[in-house]
Amino acid sequence: MSAMRTEDLIRALAKDAKPVERLAHPAWRAMMWMMVSVVYVAAFLWVVGVRPDLSNKMSDPRFLIEVGAALLTSMMAAAAAFCAGCPGRPLWERFAPLPFLGVWLASLGEGCWRQWLQAGPEGLHLQVDLTCFQSITAVGIVPAIAILLMIRRGAPIAPMSTTGLAILAATALGAAALRLFHTQDMSLMLLVWQFGSVALLAGFGFLAGRYVLRWSLPQLTADVGSHPPSC
């Protein structure tokens, strides 16, 4: 590109430029999203009511590990999604939720193993339970919309991974909330219908990322040239 065209490009970009508000740090934005989402989840639980044996379940270490791992997966996925929407952030941040996702999966797998030892194949009987998918979607829809709107204020340079992480954050929060009002405790059912629903929805979010977080290049003035400048 010639020096003249470079100057024309700079003038075109600077013409009528408006002040840009600097976004908060991704960790702070994730905290804000989490606080708003928790308020929504609390209101949802107030409407539907919590499970009758919740006080007893709160003394069960495996239950606490499952719910805690789901919540930490949600928090770290939200932070990773906001980081993925900021240019210049290190790539490893997008994998931050994986350790907590692994703990969550391992806790469910350990529960399946215990049920196998106690009852044999009969203890791993799988039934169709679409309530899990529907409930996770119902709880996670508002947090999902909120985080995607917040991310759109940034620069979604990696729309697929950003959207996948955002949906993972919302659905993992929905799965954690589901454990507080749904009485299903069979580990195989939790693994297939709850964890599976989260994985399915996050995967769908990843595939739909290019359509959900479109980031079109600005149209430059005609005197800059008909072809956009190369990077």
Per-residue pLDDT of 1-25, as tens digits, reads: 444 466 765 666 566 656 666 677 8
Q: Is residue 213 classed as helix, strand or coil in its secondary structure?
A: coil
Would 162 be classed as within a structural domain?
yes
Would 3 be classed as within a structural domain?
no
Q: Which amino acid is at 91?
A: L
pLDDT of residue 131: 82
Would 225 be classed as within a structural domain?
no
Would 190 be classed as within a structural domain?
yes
Would 7 be classed as within a structural domain?
no
Quote the CA–CA distance of 70 and 68 in Å, as a whole number: 5
pLDDT of residue 18: 63
- Residue predicted with more confidence, 91 or 116: 91
> How far apart, in Å, are the Cα atoms of 179 and each of 53, 97, 115, 146?
11, 20, 19, 22
Average pLDDT, integer, range 78-102 = 89
- H-helix segments, the chain: 3-14, 26-48, 54-57, 61-84, 98-119, 130-151, 159-181, 187-189, 196-207, 209-212
- Start-to-end CA distance of the chain, whole Å, equals 11
pLDDT surpasses 50 at 193: yes
- Report residue 228's pLDDT band, with 50, 70 and 90 as the boundaries: very low
> How far apart, in Å, are the Cα atoms of 128 and each of 111, 133, 187, 190, 196?
19, 11, 14, 11, 13
Q: In the chain, what percentage of residues exceed pLDDT 70?
A: 76
Quote the CA–CA distance of 31 and 71 in Å, as a whole number: 13
**Whole-prediction pTM value?**
0.81
Closest CA to 163 of 122, 206, 124, 131: 206
Which tens digits make up the pLDDT trace of 197-226? 999 999 999 998 888 877 654 443 444 344
> How far apart, in Å, are the Cα atoms of 32 and each of 29, 78, 140, 147, 196?
5, 10, 16, 10, 27
Quote the CA–CA distance of 223 and 208 in Å, as a whole number: 36
Sign, CA dihedral 112-38-130-95, equals negative
Into how many domains does the chain fold?
Answer: 1
Residue ranges making up the domain that contains 180: 25-211
Which tens digits make up the pLDDT trace of 141-155? 999 999 999 988 776
Q: Is residue 191 classed as helix, strand or coil in its secondary structure?
A: helix
Would 220 be classed as within a structural domain?
no
